[in-house]
């Protein structure tokens, strides 16, 4: 009886050993899994690389005039000069401005002193509705929203960047034109550029004010310009 039981147990143990995975096979399986994981990670990293363009090279300079009233004789409130570098489609750019309201202006305390007005002008937002010459409302600053102008808005820009040469055939619009070397681009509408009315004294904007401007090349996620600009008169 004892021998029969022992024989059955031995047979059962033997069958377990026969059905097990050998160390060699186990190592091979681990290698296969490791190779698959490495391939997936490599493919993912390669995909990320494909979606990010190389950063362009460009040298920009901004000039802001508090007294500029957008006329050929007086001047324009904002000018962008392309000093050197690559030609860049303005559609690929964001111009981000940040302005801090001063505590005092012309000897008076300001209710919103210390608050920051941040605005993003995005070239991918077209100035016109598709297939028309009608202004795209999404490209304009919404002055009626709650918290204006201290709630950041992302808009386009609907005015020509040069003194108007006549008609809708003028293609010098932010989001349509290219920014080219040795060219000057004039922005006649400061509210659309800064996101608030610079002529309203409650914001304390004037000579000596400081605006931080960042120009971002979206396809490469790189900053082309990132400086404080002092306002002139």
- Classify burial at 196, counting beta carbons within 10 Å of its beta carbon; exposed 0-12, middle 13-18, buried 19 or more: buried
Rg of the chain on CA atoms, in Å: 31
Q: What number is the average pLDDT over the span 206-221? A: 98
Distance CA 90, CA 142 (A): 22
Region of poorest pLDDT, from 23-32, 51-60, 102-111, 118-127? 23-32
Q: What is the structure's pLDDT at 53?
A: 81
**215 forms bridges with which residues in the sheet?**
95, 225
Q: What is the structure's pLDDT at 68?
A: 63
CA-wise closest residue to 187 among 95, 89, 59, 118: 95
Q: What is the structure's pLDDT at 202?
A: 97
Listed by start position, the domains of the chain span 2-51, 58-230
Contact predicate 86/60, CB 8 Å: no
Task: Residue 203: count other Cβ atoms within 10 Å of its Cβ.
Answer: 22
And the tokens for 162?
């040069």
- Using the structure block, give the residue that is written with the tokens 């860049």: 88
pLDDT averaged over the chain? 84
Distance CA 120, CA 156 (A): 8
- Using the structure block, give the residue that is written with the tokens 């007086």: 74
Q: In whole angstroms, what separates CA 73 from the centre of its chain? A: 34
- Classify burial at 33, counting beta carbons within 10 Å of its beta carbon; exposed 0-12, middle 13-18, buried 19 or more: exposed
- Classify burial at 178, counting beta carbons within 10 Å of its beta carbon; exposed 0-12, middle 13-18, buried 19 or more: middle
Distance CA 140, CA 135 (A): 9
Q: Provide the H-helix boundaries in 53-163.
A: none
Per cent of the chain over pLDDT 70 is 73
Q: What number is the average pLDDT over the span 46-50? A: 51
User: Does residue 48 carry a pLDDT above 50?
Assistant: no
Q: What is the structure's pLDDT at 4?
A: 54
């Amino acid at each position: 009886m004892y021998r029969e039981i022992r024989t059955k147990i031995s047979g059962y143990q033997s069958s377990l050993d026969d059905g097990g995975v050998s160390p060699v096979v186990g190592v091979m399986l681990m290698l296969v899994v490791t190779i698959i994981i490495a391939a997936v990670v490599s493919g993912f990293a390669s995909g990320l690389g494909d979606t990010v363009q190389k950063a362009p090279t460009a040298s920009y300079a901004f000039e802001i005039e508090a007294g500029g009233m957008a006329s050929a004789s007086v001047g324009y409130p904002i000018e962008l000069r392309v000093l050197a570098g690559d030609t860049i489609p303005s559609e690929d750019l964001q111009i981000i401005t940040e302005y801090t309201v001063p505590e005092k202006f012309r000897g008076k305390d300001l209710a919103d002193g210390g608050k920051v007005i941040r605005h993003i002008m995005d070239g991918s937002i077209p100035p016109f509705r598709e297939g028309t010459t009608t202004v795209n409302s999404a490209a304009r600053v919404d002055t009626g929203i709650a918290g204006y102008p201290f709630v950041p808005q992302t808009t386009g820009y609907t005015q020509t960047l040069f003194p108007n040469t006549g008609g809708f055939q003028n293609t010098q619009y932010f989001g349509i034109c290219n920014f080219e070397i040795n060219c000057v681009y004039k922005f006649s509408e400061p509210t659309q550029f800064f996101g608030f009315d610079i002529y309203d004294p409650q914001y304390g904007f004037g000579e000596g004010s400081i605006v931080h401007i960042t120009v971002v090349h979206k396809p490469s996620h790189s900053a082309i310009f990132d400086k404080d600009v002092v306002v002139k008169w």
